[in-house]
Amino acid sequence: MTIPSYVIEMLKKARARFDSGAGPQMLPSDAEFTTLRPVRTASLASVAKYWTRLRETASQADQDALADPLTLENPDRFSANIENFIGTVKIPVGIIGPLRINGLNAQGDYHVPMATTEAALVASYARGAYAATKAGGISTALLYEGVIRTPAFVFDSLLTAGQFVEWTVRHIEALKTAAEATTRYGKLTSVEPIIDNNVVFLICRYTTGDAAGQNMVTIATDALCHAIVADCPVPMKAWYIEGNFSGDKKASFLGLVTGRGRKVSASVTLPAAVVQKTLGTNVQAMLDYGQVANLGAHLSGQLGAQAHFANGLAALYLATGQDAACVAESAVGITRMEARGEDLFCSVTLPNILVGSVGGGTGLPSQSAGLNVLGLKGAGKAAALAEVVAATCLCGEISIVAAIAAGHFSRAHENLARHR
């Protein structure tokens, strides 16, 4: 058996490090070392204080880049979104479109902002949007919504776990009242118990109005759990606000099957002439590659089967003030491509789109501007925003499949990224 060279190198470094006689460092005294404590309210004074601390590693130019004059006009406006504020990061933003969408909620031609540092990404999505619009536009439908939180309760035995579930089912209306008392917009739509011997998970599913609703459902579920603890006669050993069952910011089978945010399906039928003229390939070539890619997805154990939802999701989430970490679960879904006569039917279904047109980061200056570019800021716009997100992902799937099928993928990245 051959030991890989990188293992040998790692062992050499470890031996040199630990043979040097250097032991673990003692914790410095408070006089030597002051740990940053979370500060919520940002001000010019607090920003200046933090940059003074950073002088050993960061230059004045670094400070000017992050704490620029526009950012410092009113630092307090960032206080609801971050602690220990020192500035803002500027990510390049491009647009694609107009992207025509014929949806249940999104109807019209949209210019979609995408924030990314990856060259060629916007060009690829723009090409997909052009092809889809030339074909008449993308049909979209919000199929379902329900953000979930899954508290866990621990008991002595399976018997007491069962008694707890029985009690919960009989008192569901009181628990619903306790949860909904914490929010003006959230509604508890179902509580689904899952028993694993002496541990019970409650799948608490909510609608969240026009907000993404992560904090909303956490606060509501906390109230529900406290109502249970106060009134349930079944003795419990412990309870936790989240039992790691919900799939929060993780790809999961639960999210793929039942969804954890807004479930959206989007589709378009591309005429053969559009495929040839706008994508530089043909329908059969895309179908042939799609068959191989689908096999690769199954063999590698993907949750779902798709090319690169995460690219479009991350770029659109960043541009519109969504929680970027939710891309981990939002990027689960299915892409389909099928022949329809001589034409190509393309669809995507994303069961976990976690977006809002209000709340969270949507009120920050740049992100608010991104939503305004879309025309989807404010109350009553979240369903349309979710459909735009799915349509954008479909554009990316169309473009990347066409590029790989035609053998243009590497060349495009070389021209637009490495040698631009």
Q: Which residues are catalytic?
A: 118, 323, 413
Burial 5-15 (b: 16+ CB within 10 A, else e): eeeeeeeeeee
Return the structure tokens found at 10: 């790692």
Q: Tokens 């997100």 — which residue? A: 389
Phi-psi region of 106 (alpha: psi -120 to 50; beta: other; left: phi over 0): beta
Give the C-alpha separation, 94 to 316, whole Å.
10
The answer to whether 227 touches 175, Cβ cutoff 8 Å, is yes
Residues 6+ apart with CB under 8 A from 233: 167
DSSP per-residue string spanning 365-383: HHHHHHHHHHT--STT-HH
Q: How do beta strands 152-154 and 262-270 pair?
A: unpaired
Half-sphere exposure of 328 (CA within 13 A, CB side): 10
Identify the DSSP state of 92: -
> Structure tokens of 320?
């519109």
Q: Give me the residue label for tokens 């579930």.
A: 165
CB 261 within 8 A of CB 382: no
Amino acid at 55: R
Three-state SS for 86? coil
Which residue type occupies 126?
A
Cis peptide before 98 (omega within 30 of 0): yes
CA 139-142-146 angle, to 5 degrees, is 165
Find out whether 368 and 375 touch, Cβ atoms under 8 Å: no
Alpha-carbon distances, residue 135 vs 274, 276, 304, 344, 419 (angstroms) = 7, 12, 26, 10, 32
Q: Which residues contact 312 (CB under 8 A, 6 or more apart)?
A: 114, 125, 389, 392, 393, 395, 396
